Chain A
Amino acid sequence: MATLEIKDLHVQVQTEDGPKEILKGVNLTIRDGETHAIMGPNGSGKSTLAYSIAGHPKYEVTSGSVTLDGADVLAMTVDERARAGLFLAMQYPVEVPGVSVSNFLRTAKTAIDGEAPKLRTWVKDVNTAMDRVKMDTAFATRNVNEGFSGGEKKRHEIVQLELLDPKVAVLDETDSGLDIDALKIVSEGVNRFKENGDKGVLLITHYTRILRYITPDFVHVFVDGRMVEEGGPELAEELEANGYDRFVSAAV
């Protein structure tokens, strides 16, 4: 069982001109096995929502709540959230010089499971996960994300998703910057993850094309820091045809 519940979430960032509110009351509930897509124009606050769920220190929650199976996520540290079962595939994965992918993956897996993975099966698991997203296993000895192309960074996020096997995954524009083959590979990775059980997926995207491979149960339109419309997959079709104009003018 895994339910992520976001209630009336308000978030601000500090700017040179003082605090600026970016999330203006977000409500969203992701239940067992549900995939929600969030679509919205640039700068509407999608990444802010993703980072706020993960606990990035830059984003300050001023009111509202986030719970995972009833537990107060906002009271947890960044790493506690991950250990509780949250995973964020980042829009811009960070380079960590001098830390090899294999060391990173093993350290993360050990942290999430509370014990070191068994060496023999672990090496196999890593190789399989990398093979599946067509990442050469030579990446294991490279530094985390350093010198990776945009697409390689995204695939590396999916490798982590598969190996760390969280309860709820937030994917922030994992599809952007991918060519069509890579998009399929990444989508298959997400679908495999979903098949692992009652997983929740929050798919943040700009484009409808990924929704051809990952079928959402719900589509939300996100404008100016809040949800302005909710529907099924057909809402994505409408956005594809007409863009955000209808929603943007309504929100102003």
Chain B
Amino acid sequence: MTAETLSHALEVEDVDSHLHPHRSFDVADHAVPTGREEIWRFTPLKRLRGLHDDAPLDGDGVGAEADAPAGVSIELIAPDSPLRGSSGFVPSDRIAARVWAEATRAWAVTIPAEAAPEEPVVVTLTGKDSESATASHLVVSAGAHSKATLVLRFVGSGTLADNVEYVVGDGAHLTVVSIDDWDDDAVHVGHRHAKVGRDATFRHIDVSFGGDLVRHDTTAEYAGPGGEVEMLGLYFADEGQHIEHRLFVDHNAPRTRSHVSYKGALQGEGAHTVWIGNVLIRKVAEGIETYEENRNLVLTDGCQADSVPNLEIETGEIEGAGHASATGRFDDEQLFYLRSRGIEEHEARRLVVHGFFNDLIRKVGVPSLEEQLTATVEAELAKNVLREGPA
């Protein structure tokens, strides 16, 4: 393919597809949702605290603290900074459009070209007050051939709507670990969009444990051929918790790859998880490879896991495309095998859940984080059905 046809293809805007909702910067283009819309039908709107409507977004209840290795800059940016929108991000729903228009805090993390800091950039957002809603816009730029890890950790109680853009330069390698470790009363609606450069790698690891309602749109497109996207997710919904992940990988360039793998566990009355995995393979995207999967482990009665993979393929010239979705309870044979070795039932269950997540945790590739995640899973398990004694 010539450079000309490629750039032409990249300009192709929204194809008419249910995978790709109408996008616009203008809040007025996004009506207040009623809950019947395809993109809202799983979300309990009442618990959004008006984020989807007109609730003020000018709170400052979520503070940010950053710890960046030398060379990496973190700075506030002006509302009209050209960095905003540099990932090709265009709001796909009302909340994202409102954050675009009203965010009181806009900031940028910049990793210079060819920089390869050993330590991760760690940003902690701490909610101090969930009464008023905070809107924030972050742009992360990874320069060409840089290699870095960014950890975003959300803690405390707050109401946060944020847009995060990732611009991954040619040949760059960016790993992002986003951890929703909120208190029980937090609401967090996030939109993250990545533009992945030629031969670049973007890894996004999304961990959602805490919060009353967490809804994340995580989307990616490519700025050239050869790019790779890996999206891993790990979530744990307790009693009454709503955790929703909406993913969209737009294969808009040839020989790109994407691998999406989300695993979740649910326990307690009213625990609800939603996973929408959308992949679009455009005509131009020849020779691409994609695989997406979602697995849910239902630990108790009264939980609901919705899981919808969608693959839309506009070209036949692909290397491979597949998806899998499975929601199940404990495997009786696994439990029997462990118990037949003397391991008590609650301990056997704990091992199985650990194992379920372990496979994913091992893929994170950041040892200190892997340990932390294992410990967090342990803490979640201790909370409810898997505590000592019979379930």
CA distance A143 to B340 in the complex (A): 18
Determine how close the nearest CB of chain A comes to the CB of B304; give it in whole angstroms.
Answer: 24
Assess whether A93 is in contact with B339, with CB atoms less than 8 Å apart: no
Interface residues on B, range: 20 to 34
Please report which residues of chain B, range 329-367, place their CB below 8 angstroms from some CB of chain A when the two chains form the complex. 332-334, 336-345, 347-348, 351-352, 354-359
Whether A112 contacts B352 by the Cβ 8 Å rule is: no
On chain B, the residues within 8 Å of A107 by CB distance are 338, 343, 347, 351
Question: How far is it, in angstroms, between the C-alpha of A135 and the C-alpha of B345 when the chains are bound?
Answer: 29
- Greatest chain A CB density within 10 A among B334, B338, B342, B358 is at B342
Residue-wise interface mask of A (58-72) relative to B, using a CB-CB cutoff of 8 A (1 in contact, 0 not): 000000000000000
Bound form: Cα–Cα A104–B337 in Å: 11
Q: In the complex, which residues 104-159 of chain A have their Cβ closer than 8 Å to any Cβ of chain B?
A: 104, 107-108, 111-112, 143-144
* The one of B342, B355, B359 that contacts A79, using a Cβ cutoff of 8 Å: B342
Q: Which residues of A contact B333 (CB under 8 A)?
A: 94
Total A-B Cβ pairs within 8 A: 81
Is A78 among interface residues, defined by CB-CB distance under 8 A? Answer: yes
Say yes or no: A98 contacts B342, CB within 8 Å. Answer: no
Contact A98 B356 (CB under 8 A): yes
Tell whether A56 pairs with B354 under 8 Å between CB atoms, given A82-B341, A164-B342.
no
Q: Is the CB of A94 within 8 A of B341?
A: no
What's the dominant secondary structure at chain B's contact region? Answer: helix
Establish whether residues A96 and B351, one from each chain, have CB atoms under 8 Å apart when the complex forms: yes
Q: Are B334 and A88 closer than 8 Å at their CB atoms? A: no
Interface residues on A, range: 20 to 34
Residues of B close to A160: CB separation below 8 A:
341
Query: Considering the complex, which residues of chain B in the window 35-68 have a beta carbon less than 8 Å from any beta carbon of chain A?
Result: none
Least Cβ–Cβ distance between B371 and chain A, in angstroms:
15
Do A96 and B355 have beta carbons less than 8 Å apart?
yes
Closest chain-B Cβ to A107's Cβ sits at a distance in Å of: 6
Hey, which chain A residues are within 8 Å of B336, CB to CB? 54, 56-57, 78, 94
The answer for the CA separation of A160 and B338 in the assembled complex, in Å, is 12
Residues of A contacting B354 in the complex (Cβ-Cβ under 8 angstroms):
98-99
Q: Which residues of B contact A111 (CB under 8 A)?
A: 341-344, 347
> Which residues of chain B are near A79, meaning CB under 8 Å?
339-345, 348
Q: Which residues of B contact A56 (CB under 8 A)?
A: 336
- Bound-state Cα–Cα, A8 to B290, Å: 58
Task: Give the residue of B345, B351, B358 whose beta carbon is less than 8 angstroms from that of A104.
Answer: B351
Instruction: Tell whether, in the assembled complex, residue B340 and residue A88 are in contact, meaning their CB atoms are under 8 Å apart.
Output: yes
Q: Once bound together, how far apart are the Cα atoms of A137 and B282, in whole Å?
A: 47
A78 to B358, CA, bound (A): 26
Closest B residue to A83 by CB, please name it. B342
In the assembled complex, the Cα of A104 lies from the Cα of B338 at a distance in Å of 8
A182 within 8 A of B: no
Instruction: Pick the contact of B337: A83, A96, A164 (CB < 8 A).
Output: A96
Q: Using Cβ atoms and an 8 Å threshold, which residues of chain A touch B352?
A: 96, 99
Whole-angstrom CA separation of A79 from B359 in the bound complex: 26
**A14: CB under 8 A from chain B?**
no
Give the interface centre of B340, B345, B348, B352 by most chain A CB atoms within 10 Å. Answer: B340
* Interface flags, A68-103, vs B, CB<8A=1, else 0: 000000000111011100011010011111110001
10 closest residue pairs by CB, A with B? A98-B355, A98-B358, A82-B342, A108-B341, A94-B337, A111-B342, A99-B355, A78-B339, A112-B342, A79-B339
A-B pairs with beta carbons under 8 Å apart, 18 shown: A54-B340, A55-B340, A79-B339, A79-B340, A82-B340, A94-B336, A96-B337, A97-B355, A98-B354, A98-B355, A99-B355, A104-B338, A108-B338, A108-B341, A111-B347, A143-B359, A164-B341, A164-B342
Chain B residues engaging chain A, CB cutoff 8 angstroms: 332-334, 336-345, 347-348, 351-352, 354-359
A81-B340, A107-B343, A111-B347 are known contacts; what are 20 more A-B pairs with Cβ within 8 Å? A78-B336, A78-B339, A79-B339, A79-B340, A83-B342, A90-B337, A90-B340, A93-B337, A96-B351, A96-B355, A98-B354, A98-B356, A98-B358, A99-B352, A104-B351, A107-B338, A111-B342, A111-B343, A112-B341, A160-B341
